[in-house]
Structure 1
Amino acid sequence: MKGIKHIIFDLGGVILNINYQLTYNAFAALGVKDFTSLYNQFTLSNLFGDLETGKIGKEDFLTAMQQHVPEGTTDQQIIDAWNAMLLDFPLRRLQILQQLRQHYGLYLLSNTNAIHMDAFNNILQQSRSIPSLADFFDKVYYSHLIGLRKPEKEAYQLVLEENGLQPSETLFIDDTLPNIEGAKLVGLETIHLIPPKTIADIFR
């Protein structure tokens, strides 16, 4: 951490526990035969890519998804299946963020969408009585609100430029290798968080 003044965190798999398989299973249970052809962590279809960059909103997404689910499936069932991947915020990770914020500028850069944002903030409220993940950071950047996704270099540059951060003084932590490689291209220091390692193993 020598020379580091700021830390940019990814969300899913770093702060929030996630399990993509639960969403695959949930859509399969609804009768979607091959949800993985529509979505996976690394290659998004246009529908999910557009949702994550804010080109379409919740209602447009649900309308499109109705074409892939059996007749009679409700919008809420689609939302619940889509949110099934979102698990919990381990208390230790939140404590680490609070401790780090006393010494570093903290930022969040997440590829996410409006449906998930509502859901994970609700998880945080229900489990920790904290209304928003933004409470832990100097500023949060969600792909659907900024119109940019990692590993696009413009996503990292936006965080750096808006906050006057020097890449060499800024650490980026993510669990996805392409996102780490994208961060390196703009000069960020990086930690590739490979499971089962967590931020609790890095910041003791």
Structure 2
Amino acid sequence: MQGIKNIIFDLGGVILNIDYQKTNDAFIALGVTNFHELYSQFKGSHLFDNLETGHISTADFLQEMHKHVPAGVTDEQIIDAWCAMLLDFPLQRLQLLQQLRQQYNLYLLSNTNAIHLERFNQILMESRGIPSLAEFFDKTYYSHLVGLRKPGTEIYEVVLQENGLKAGETVFIDDTLPNIEAAKKVGLHTIHLLPPKTILDIFRPMAV
């Protein structure tokens, strides 16, 4: 971390525990037996990309999903299934962010969508009494609000330019290799966080 002044964190798998299988299982429980195929199909049709870049609304997303779930399934059930992947915010990770912020400028850069943003802030409030992840960062960047997503290099450049950051003084932490490779292209230092390691392992001396 010598010479580093700024840290950009990914969210899912880095700060927030996630489990994609739980969303698959939740849709199967609703009667969508081929969700793995459907998810691949939606990736190909850019449904999820469009949701994560804010190019379609929550209502549009739900309308599309209703075509693939049994009759009688409600919007709320679809939303709950879609959010089942979002688990918890381990307390030590949040405490670590508070400690790091005393020495570094901290930023959050997440590929997410309006549905998940509302839900994970709800999880944070209900579990920790904190209304928003914004409490831990100098600024948060969510793909659906920026209109760009990783691994496109533009979204990294937005973070750097808007905050007057030098790439050489900034480290980016993510659990997804394409996102790490894209960050390197714009000159960021990177840490590819692979399980079972967590950010506590990276910053162990500062962890509580």
Question: Which TM-score applies when normalising by structure 2?
Answer: 0.95
The equivalent of 1:67 in structure 2 is 67
**Partner letter of residue 136 of structure 2?**
F
Q: How far, CA to CA, are the matches of 1:45 and 1:13 in structure 2?
A: 25
Q: How far, CA to CA, are the matches of 1:79 and 1:45 in structure 2?
A: 20
> Alpha carbon RMSD of aligned pairs, Å?
1.0
Counterparts of residues 19-34 of structure 1 (less than 5 Å): 19-34=19-34
Specify the SS of the correspondent of 2:106: strand
Could you tell me which runs of 5 or more consecutive residues in structure 1 were left unpaired when the two chains were aligned.
Answer: none
The equivalent of 2:167 in structure 1 is 167
**Partner letter of residue 106 of structure 2?**
L
Structure 1 vs Structure 2: percent identity of aligned residues? Answer: 71
Q: How far, CA to CA, are the matches of 2:37 and 2:203 in structure 1?
A: 37
Query: Does 2:75 match 1:106?
Result: no
Counterparts of residues 7-156 of structure 1 (less than 5 Å): 7-39=7-39, 43=43, 45-156=45-156
Specify the SS of the correspondent of 2:7: strand
**Partner letter of residue 101 of structure 2?**
R
Count of aligned positions: 202
**Partner letter of residue 121 of structure 1?**
N
- Does structure 2 retain, via aligned residues, the 8 Å contact 1:38–1:44? no
- Does structure 2 retain, via aligned residues, the 8 Å contact 1:38–1:45? no
1:85-104 CA deviation, whole Å, 9 max, x = no partner?
00000000000100000000
**Partner letter of residue 86 of structure 1?**
L
Q: How far, CA to CA, are the matches of 1:76 and 1:18 in structure 2?
A: 20
Q: CA deviation at 1:32?
A: 1.1
1:129-162 CA deviation, whole Å, 9 max, x = no partner?
0000011000000000000000000010000000
**Partner letter of residue 152 of structure 1?**
G
Specify the SS of the correspondent of 1:38: helix
Specify the SS of the correspondent of 2:39: coil
Q: CA deviation at 1:35?
A: 1.4
Q: How far, CA to CA, are the matches of 2:38 and 2:99 in structure 1?
A: 39
Could you tell me which runs of 5 or more consecutive residues in structure 2 were left unpaired when the two chains were aligned.
Answer: none
